[in-house]
């Protein structure tokens, strides 16, 4: 994400945005954006299952429509499915009518797979601007952002991302990762390796990996 986009992520100005749960419990919410991706999502789901961990997958409707079975298998493994709009547009350039269409159409695609859980929403690029916030208030939804990103969309080495994770991690954190690129399918090999490293180390240290809904249900 470019510098000017990062500077636009100012959730405090535009209403409540979920970025972390304040807690002393060893709980982490891993989140994965832009999928599902047949090259990557099943491998991440398998790793989560192996370590009895859960996560939230913020899917793009365009990919969910292509791979509905991946939504089903991800959900059946006790993970949560979130809405990341249909085509991952720059919300800053969209009118309210188009924003509503992007959100509702993706909700509908997710529901058609049989998913019955809560559908949390994450804005593309994390941009929480007044036009989007007005829409979300009408829909009685709060956007989910993140405590920190591991910048896996830049494809750094797993070891580099892991060191960043160790420096940044705090109880109740929401971690941003990706199981797909927005523009074209990608084998997120480094992300898969990183997830394995995180789960292996922190599971043995007593951390639990939970969904956004589970995280928000924890008492502070």
Is this model's pTM higher than 0.85 or not? yes
Structure confidence by residue, pLDDT tens digits, 132-177? 888 898 898 989 999 999 999 888 999 999 999 999 999 999 999 9
What pLDDT is recorded for position 187?
63
CATH top-level class of 3-217: alpha beta
The runs of H, that is alpha helices, within the chain are 3-6, 41-50, 61-66, 68-76, 96-112, 130-138, 158-168, 189-204, 212-217
Sign of CA dihedral 162, 167, 172, 174: negative
pLDDT above 80 for 181: no
Query: What pLDDT sits at residue 129?
Result: 78
pLDDT at 3 over 90: no
In the chain, domain spans: 3-217
Question: Over 70: is that where the pLDDT of 11 sits?
Answer: no
Residues labelled catalytic: 33, 178
Residue 212 has pLDDT above 70, yes or no: yes
- Rounded to an integer, the average pLDDT of 73-81 is 97
Q: What's the pLDDT at 128?
A: 81
Above 60 in pLDDT, residue 182? no
């Amino acid at each position: 994400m470019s510098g000017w986009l990062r500077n636009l992520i100012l959730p405090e100005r535009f209403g409540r945005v979920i970025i972390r749960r304040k807690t002393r419990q060893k709980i982490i919410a891993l989140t994965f954006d832009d999928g599902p991706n047949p090259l990557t999502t099943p491998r991440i789901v398998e790793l989560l299952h192996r370590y009895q961990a859960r996560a939230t997958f913020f899917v793009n409707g365009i990919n969910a429509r292509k791979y509905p079975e991946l939504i089903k298998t991800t959900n059946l493994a006790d993970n949560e499915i979130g809405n990341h709009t249909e085509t991952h547009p720059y919300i800053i350039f969209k009118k309210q009518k188009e924003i509503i269409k992007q959100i509702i159409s993706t909700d509908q695609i997710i529901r058609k797979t049989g998913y019955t859980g809560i559908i949390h929403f994450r804005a593309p690029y994390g941009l929480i601007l007044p036009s989007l916030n007005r829409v979300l208030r009408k829909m009685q939804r709060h956007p989910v952002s993140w405590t920190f990103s591991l910048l896996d969309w830049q494809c750094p080495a797993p070891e580099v991302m892991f060191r960043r994770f160790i420096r940044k991690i705090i109880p109740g954190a929401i971690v941003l990762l990706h199981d797909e690129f927005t523009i074209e399918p990608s084998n997120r090999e480094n992300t898969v390796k990183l997830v394995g490293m995180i789960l292996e180390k922190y599971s043995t240290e007593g951390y639990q990996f939970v969904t956004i809904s589970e995280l928000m249900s924890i008492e502070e």
